[in-house]
């Protein structure tokens, strides 16, 4: 075999191997970031739900389900990752959360009221 051809094939193999390693690292970083974001969102949602639960227990009132808090914080995280959070974003999110809350079934409410 021609030594120049052998060197060229070896070099191409090294490039393919390096590209595979870089792609693997990029994919792992993407999923690691996604896991960390989900963990942060979950922790924020659980803590806020705990605080709302404490207040509602002391003062009375409804306690929205944890899923609404998770949805809210996930949406905030998504916005903040792409651009600056605005007052319009917060107003839109508040409206969206109220609509979701209204649609949430609650076994403690009489039929005909929210979510039933």
pLDDT in tens, 57-69: 899 888 889 999 9
Q: Is the pTM of this model over 0.75?
A: no
The predicted model gives 50-78 an average pLDDT of: 91
The predicted model gives 81-100 an average pLDDT of: 93
pLDDT at 52 over 50: yes
| Distances in whole angstroms, Cα of residue 26 to Cα of each of 12, 22, 62, 71 | 21, 6, 44, 27
The pLDDT score that the predictor gives to residue 11 is: 87
| Cβ proximity of 69 and 45 under 8 Å | yes
CA atoms within 13 A on the CB side of 86: 5
What's the start-to-end Cα distance of the chain, in Å? 78
The pLDDT score that the predictor gives to residue 116 is: 44
The predicted model gives 67-72 an average pLDDT of: 93
Res. 3 pLDDT band, cuts 50 70 90: confident
DSSP 64: -
């Amino acid at each position: 075999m021609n030594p120049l051809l052998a060197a060229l094939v070896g070099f191409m193999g090294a490039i393919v191997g390096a590209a595979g390693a870089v792609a693997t690292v990029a994919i792992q970083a993407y999923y690691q970031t996604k896991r960390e974001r989900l963990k942060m969102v979950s922790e924020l949602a659980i803590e806020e739900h705990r605080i709302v639960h404490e207040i509602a227990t002391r003062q009375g009132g409804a306690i929205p389900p944890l899923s609404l808090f998770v949805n809210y914080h996930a949406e905030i995280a998504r916005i903040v990752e792409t651009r600056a959070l605005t007052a319009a974003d917060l107003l839109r999110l508040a409206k969206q959360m109220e609509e979701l809350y209204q649609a949430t079934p609650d076994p403690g409410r009489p039929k005909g009221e929210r979510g039933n």
